[in-house]
Amino acid sequence: MTPRAQTAETPPHPLAGKRMTGAEMIVQVLVDVGVKTIFGYSGGAILPTYDAVFRYNDEHRDADGTAPIPLIVPANEQGAGFMASGYARASGRVGVCMVTSGPGATNTVTPVRDSMADSVPIVVLCGQVPTGVIGTDAFQEAPVSAIMGSVAKHVFLVTNPDRLEATIRTAFEIAATGRPGPVVIDIPKDVQNWVGEFQGTGLLPIDAYRQRVDALVASEISPTAAKSFFDMLRESRRPLIYAGGGVVNANASEALRRFSERFQIPVTTTLMGIGAFDTTEPLSLQMLGMHGTPAANYAVEDCDFLIAVGSRFDDRVAAVPDKFAPRAKKIAHFDVDPCEIGKVKAVDWHNVGVLERDLRQLIAWADRHKITTDFGPWLKEIAGLKSTYAMNYDRQSTLIQPNYVLEEINRHTKGEAIITTGVGQHQMWSAQYFDFRQPRLWLTSGSMGTMGFGLPAAIGAQFAHPEKLVIDIDGDASIRMNLGELETVTTYQLPIKVVVLNNFGDGMVKQWQKLYYQGRLSATDKSLHRKDFVKAAQADGFDYAVRLDKKTDVPRVIREFIQFKGPAFLEVLIDTEACVYPMVGPGMAYDQMITGDFIPSRTAVKDPGAPSDNSMF
């Protein structure tokens, strides 16, 4: 949905010269850039555009009555933002959220920041009070440009109606190009009501930005740089690919897989990179980091050449940069953002460019120069790590272990379902125990760690892929944040499956309190709360709403739940003492990883120690 500049050979837009309101222009540009779904909540300052969407849909319905741009109404604007994000993450296209001024706009701050942190392309259209009263504290006025300026990739305030349609097109260009991100457009009501001639073409003159994007496209790997890279690879005996969300965002997963297979290099991914490499493949080590698999973390400890691809050495992975990959003699880094190179850890070789193309060019260079590799002993070591330090849990417990539930769901989905999550223990268990055969099947709030993300993101993903099975794996605390979106699921009869792993509290925070605060559960224990999630789901129209509290019933209930044709809700009462392992404590290196009672460890670490004063959650 990236707009293209009109050339002399391009025929004029069929509606060029037609007189339209600003609101009608907004809708027409959305149509032109390929928008198929809008998520949003109405209000006074955005009413002209909502009315224009209604009229456009009414005039352009299919023979079966289907609207060309359905407008999906959530329970609140935060939900709308996360739906747009879920849509974008699942599809790779720009998600669209449309809200009113004041509280409507401020309610989207969290999804905007969440999208910025995870490099997700969305466009947020905000209504604003008329230009003449901006700055007077008018009814439902908020300084959107000031608020959003620090959390979005870019913010526009449209005060000149002649620049309206060019601004909308440019917003989509900025959101989708370079390092993707959210763009916010603040549109006063009088600009929406203005009447002028529709141009059907035109972009804003953001020359410096386009020069940077063009430089990325032009920045191909030189023969000298390619030779240098392969010199390091041939000197290596234990290379490892560390892939991040940038691989998914760049649609470079297939190129990464070819690269790994061509040179037989094992791959570990970040939380955001899950799905970039098929987790069922022998070369996959799955996730690394704070709650990564032991095999992945031990491989990072052992590797002598680390190849970072679309990853940024964040604190969940490299909490102690100097001790991250301590035996790596060389580090190479591929990224789209030059600011990430050397930001956390110095590297010996880097490339800033178009990842999919650059990986393929390296393969081609190696083929031309007959580059061969033999990492047999290293691959044997990797297989040994995966076997010896395999993920595990208390399989003999009479209580329902969350890992068991997820393994059972995974047995049905076979790595092909879209999995969304909230944030907390259930998020980490899902990352550890689900398979993902393809990218864009794993949707989670990574950098921001936003509770309440899972359910609205699942809604956005289902609209992006109506044919796919979409499952929200949530926690009792996380789903409370946007519980109202259960009604959105049934309103639009979306066949989303919602799982709540209920441990009666903020599980991840409780885990930290047990480890670092002598078990003082300050404000995290919800065992006395009265929420009946099944009744809540039934009240919101779920025909299938079941509570699972017996271990022996798990296989049967999971099968019925997955096979149910419509929206389905399942609450699972899990072991309240279950913890997420492995765990690399804050400020700790991988050789201090705690594996718990059921996963072997090659180091005897039992006491996590006190977190340092600057440690992050």
Instruction: Work out the percent of the chain whose per-residue pLDDT is above 70.
Output: 97
Average pLDDT of span 188-214: 97
Taking the CB of residue 512, how many other CB atoms lie within 10 A of it? 19
Average pLDDT over residues 62-88: 97
**What's the whole-number mean pLDDT along residues 455-474?**
98
Token duo for residue 247: 């691989």
List, in order, residues 6 or more apart from 240 with CB less than 8 Å away.
265, 266, 267, 268, 299, 300, 303, 305, 306, 307, 325
Query: In the structure, what pLDDT confidence band is assigned to residue 609 with cuts at 50, 70 and 90?
Result: low
Q: Which residues partner with 185 through β-bridges?
A: 125, 156
| Residues involved in catalysis | 77, 139-140, 189, 508
DSSP 591: G
- Tell me: the pLDDT tens digits for 530-587? 999 999 999 999 999 999 999 999 999 999 999 999 999 999 999 999 999 999 998 8
Which domains, and CATH codes, for the chain?
19-204 (3.40.50.970), 219-388 (3.40.50.1220), 402-573 (3.40.50.970)
> Is residue 606 over pLDDT 90?
no
Measured CA to CA, the distance from residue 115 to residue 118 in angstroms comes to 5
Q: What are phi and psi of 393, to 5 degrees?
A: -160, -175
End-to-end CA distance of the chain: 37
Residue type, 568: A
Q: What is the Cα–Cα distance from 471 to 478, expressed in whole angstroms?
A: 15
Structure tokens at 206: 């953001």
For 387, phi then psi, to 5°, come to -80, -45
Residue 444 identity (one-letter amino acid) = T
Average pLDDT over residues 491-515: 96
Residue 616 reports pLDDT greater than 80: no
Q: What is the DSSP letter of 108?
A: T
Per-residue pLDDT tens digits for 130-149: 999 999 999 999 999 999 99
Class of residue 423 by CB neighbours under 10 A (exposed 0-12, middle 13-18, buried 19+)? buried
Strands 568-573 and 305-309: unpaired
d(CA 97, CA 122): 7
d(C-alpha 385, C-alpha 207), whole Å: 51
Asked whether residue 607 carries a pLDDT value surpassing 90, the answer given is no
Strands (E), 338-377: 349-352
The answer on pLDDT for 504 being more than 70 is yes
pLDDT value of residue 610: 64
Determine the pLDDT at residue 9. Answer: 72
